[in-house]
Chain A
Amino acid sequence: MLNFILRKRQLGLALLVSLLAFSGSAETLKEVAKKRGLTDKDLLAAAKTYTPSGKKDEYLVFSSGGQAGQLIVYGVPSMRLLKYIGVFTPEPWSGYGYGEVEGMHRLKEGMIRGTKITWGDTHHPALSETNGDYDGQFVFINDKANPRVAVIDLKTFETVQIVVNPIFKSEHGSSVVTPNTEYAMEAAQYPAPYSNKYVALTQKNFNEIYRGGITYWKFNREKGRLMPKQSFTVELPPYMQDITDAGKLISDGWSFTNSINTERYIGGFGNGNTHLKHKLANEAGMSAKDTDYMHIVNWRKAEKLFKAGKFKKINGHAVISMKDMVKANALFLLPESKSPHGCDVSPDGRYIIVAGKLDTHATVYDFKKIKRLIDKKDFAGKDPYGIPILDMQKSIHKQVQLGLGPLHSQFDKEKGIVYTSLYVDSAVARWDYLKGKLLEKLPIHYNIGHLVTAEGDTVNPDGKYLIALNKLAIDRFNQVGPLHPQNHQLIDIKGKKPMSLLYDMPLPLGEPHYAQMIKADKLKPVIRYKKRSFKNYVRPGKERVERKGNKVTIHSTAIRSHYSPEVISIKKGDHVTWHITNVERAQDQTHGFTVDTYNLHASIEPGETVTLKFVATKSGVFPFYCTEFCSALHLEMSGYLLVK
């Protein structure tokens, strides 16, 4: 009996211990939710975004890095950051702009009037398109501050070209591509003389000499480069051209560009103005009129004029005059609500949605109506430069009241459904642009600018996800000083359910501006470089140092865990060219390279040969080493540059 009782007690004790052990080690979902104060809605959002280790994302987002001058890549729905691509700004990790000749050359390409510019105000990425769909080959991005456009090759995710606009002094409506990436477009923003000469800022000069414009940069897909000599600009009045979109399908061959300040107002507000002191601020005069103008350009006709030599060269660049464009029936103006912002062409190419910004409405224009007016030459008048103006009412399909401060629109997979950001309301509106009906509004946090849906500006939007690109999150994250992070908010737009907020992703870089979301399986990046494709490839066993006068060329290899050669002596004043081949093939065997004091850094991916150039201006002993933890003996992967 005693034995039975003891056994029973032991059994009970064992059960209790195992129960305690179980409850201590394995938390249930309910327990975690309770501890962390999560609701069922939160758990559902987590389940929709959580991406377990090793699982990949369905979409990739290419987001402007704003004032950081970079391009950011992240995955959706996980919102995991994948890459920063150095574009207009040096990027230390990859070594872009730190002595490696390719990166140095890129940044040199972006010099304006002899000035090296090491930042950029990137705004609008544009993925290359084939038949109006993203093709995953290239992405373009602009620099508003210093009018430039860059090309990033999506095989390597590296910047391969920067072109400087030879006549603009700023830009904004860029980059936008035509449906087969024939052109990357760049619309000016703040009017200025095309020449680089000083022209006094008087109303007369402003009206007669200051100019806007749209540059159509010809793209050669095989070369993967913009072709400046085959590119041209359409001269436009000194209105501030703004957001631009390319026509598609039935509107293919046309482009649509908003504008502000068609008043041509020049402000002078406040103390300290050197002249025009009597005037009110820009913002007062620039929004005086009820309407501004959408610029409608037939770029195929402009292309014909260019090919026929109907242009003049300014700063070595072809400019087609407004007069020739009007004569060729290739340039028109269409009134739009004053100071508008977004200008977005529907997937079928028929409708153009312009968001009012200062108006609570979005206006849906019908391209068929516009085309009819153009074909019949049914114009409401002409602007001071002789450009025909179309009748606004005769061009409109619908006007819909959405809320305060409508800005940009992106399309859904479902026909007629569009999403528009409401800046002042801090909300996203879902509405039907065919029926002209507001369906739903979702609050976001806060200051939304652009928004992006999956492939939402192509001929085949994918729906599913929307990201609100919000500026300066004031209460969503831990405080990190007075400059707040940006907030990319992921929103579920699947099905006909109400929109629901899934995730907040802070980004500690510049203003997000625009982004594009592409199906991940469209991207085919290379995994590693082909060694033989580099002309300065150093074969193992052929490492050497060559000297011709004061020109020293070092041919090095890098492999786990040594450079060859490891000790190199040169003389002060030598001009050094240093080729380094990473002879590894394992895809994660990247080696870094730096030399003390000389401000050099390179990231050498497997199979890659990089070349660094510098002048040995200082004598002394300079260790060099691998900056990536490449192997167990990584710290030993080092050497000495001895400068006598």
Chain B
Amino acid sequence: MTGSIGLLLGCIAVLLATAILAIGLGRSGRATQVIYGVTAAISAVALVAALTQLLDALHDNSTLTLPLGLPWIGANFRLDMLSAFFLVVVNLGGGVASLFGLGYGTHETTPGRVLPFFPAFLAGMNLVVLADDAFAFLFAWEFMSLSSWALVMAHHREPGNARAGYIYLVMASFGTLALLLAFGLLAGPDGGYAFEMIRAVEHKSLVVALVLGLMLLGAGSKAGLVPLHVWLPLAHPAAPSHVSALMSGVMTKVAVYGFIRVIFDLVGEPNWWSSIIVMFIGGATAVFGILSALMERDIKRLLAYSTIENIGVIFVSLGLALAFEANGMRLAAALALTAALFHVLNHAFFKSLLFFGAGAVLTATGERDMERLGGLIHRMPVTSVVFLVGCFAISALPPLNGFASEWLVFQAILQSPDLPQFGLKLMVPAVGGMLALAAALAAACFIKVYGTVFLGRPRSAAAIEAREVDHFSLAAMSILASLCLLAGMFPGLVVDALSPVANSLVGSGLPRQAEIAWLSLVPIAESRSSYNGLLIFAFVALSAWLAVFFIHSFASRAVRRGPAWGCGLPSLSADMQYSGDSFAQPIRRVFGQLAFRAHEEIDMPAPGDMRAARLTVTMRDIVWDSIYAPIVRGVRFVAKRLNGLQFLTIRRYLSIVFAALVTLLLVLALWA
């Protein structure tokens, strides 16, 4: 069926044309509506095409070769189950972001810096997922990176954004370099860059190991694995909010796609020890990401750190799938892989929703600092409800979707005592504990976000005067909130849709869920474990209704408003509330010493001294300090030394050239 791949490539072509059109439209007033309208429509078409492919019972793959790219293989594109699933994620995210952009984009101060790159970014992500040879893949990957970099730099005059863009650019180049080497190793000396050729070759175990390392560097740096995550909390928040949502919710998933494509599809049989590395990095990423999020005051940076956590969860699950696959446990591998893919989808839903919510708050108040917000539940009734849904979902609480995928990950962990290797036996429970810790901290983190931003009393004039945002933004957020609810209530249907994807990668899918009574989720067997989001939702709703009904029939209905209890103080100012920082203080005391070398200094003036008391908290980014800072220092040192070579006389240059020539010849002579 070349029809759907042709259609998808056509969509990409239209997106690219839209990007050029956006340059042409320039500053015209209707440009925002036109561009986002077109991208929304195109994303919807591509979404339908990808969904048809994913849900198509035949599961046939279609390929297409264009006479572009490397002359001896052309540009190959392929639509299979894996790419169909990720196309669904990309285009769903893209479509909803466009819808949000229709409203949010009208507040943009420099639309000319956003509009051309937004469709280009969408096109780049679609192309990565469709690419079927190394050249096309890398080209699309770089295109995606550069267009998103341009979006990060949209507000380049705001403090910190230029640095964010620079670090992003460096890390993206580094990642692409790693990918380039990985594909070079896979293609071998004959230059078999088409994925078809790479798949056909049996790779040496050294090559497999190197490729795994390079993919962890290349795809991992884009996805935000610790310690390659440093650019992510800087760059994602710097972009306009709907682009942040795309970068966090979707682009990191494209990186996950790259990892799955190479490691599960192209390389072939994995080594069991490689799974330990992936799982450990994933677990560390999850815990470190969410701890960093908890310490954050800027709402968008907090969300970016939380993305790092979720990527960690996904990689843990992928690592489990590798471990099971290496030991021939196909059903368990399918369970772990399905859990990972389900979490990919869920994270795309709720992280986009939360970034949109942050964008809405930014529109309404102009603030990203949570300590200057508060009480928005009174001012923004709809946003506060959908944002609550997002917070609830990302905290992995039933009956929403985040819990369904984390539950599957835990079920996969419980399959692992059957693994023969001792290293894995010791690793898996530890990683399970880390995941559980990350999930619990995530709940704390999003209680902090919601409690500080939407509850309590407003902490600034901007928060007092906040207004609900436009209908397009609300529609986009409501769609995502409903999807969170639906995926949580009917996880079995999602698992069924993912089954062909797992089947194509690990040779087995989970048993069909749609026929199970009451639409329960039963990954292995009912005697082992089952979960029914729909029933839990129904039970809780029913019990709550019963309680409300009973109370309103029999109990007192009197309500009186009064001031909150303030220990007898006459008036409580908004600054006397608990702030986000104070909310996180107990957790900082427990984990901060280890993770951030957190240090509290209290300056308490003596009695009679009229100075104000001060509490200073210093936290250090240990990843930056221990890895990146030395590299930066090293580069500076070398650059300084080499700087001396820049302004020499011609005689000195000639003598250096002569010395270099002699040295080279000597080396050659000795070698031969």
Co-complex (A, B): no
- A-contacting residues of B (Cβ < 8 Å)? none
The residues of A with any CB-CB pair to B shorter than 8 Å are: none
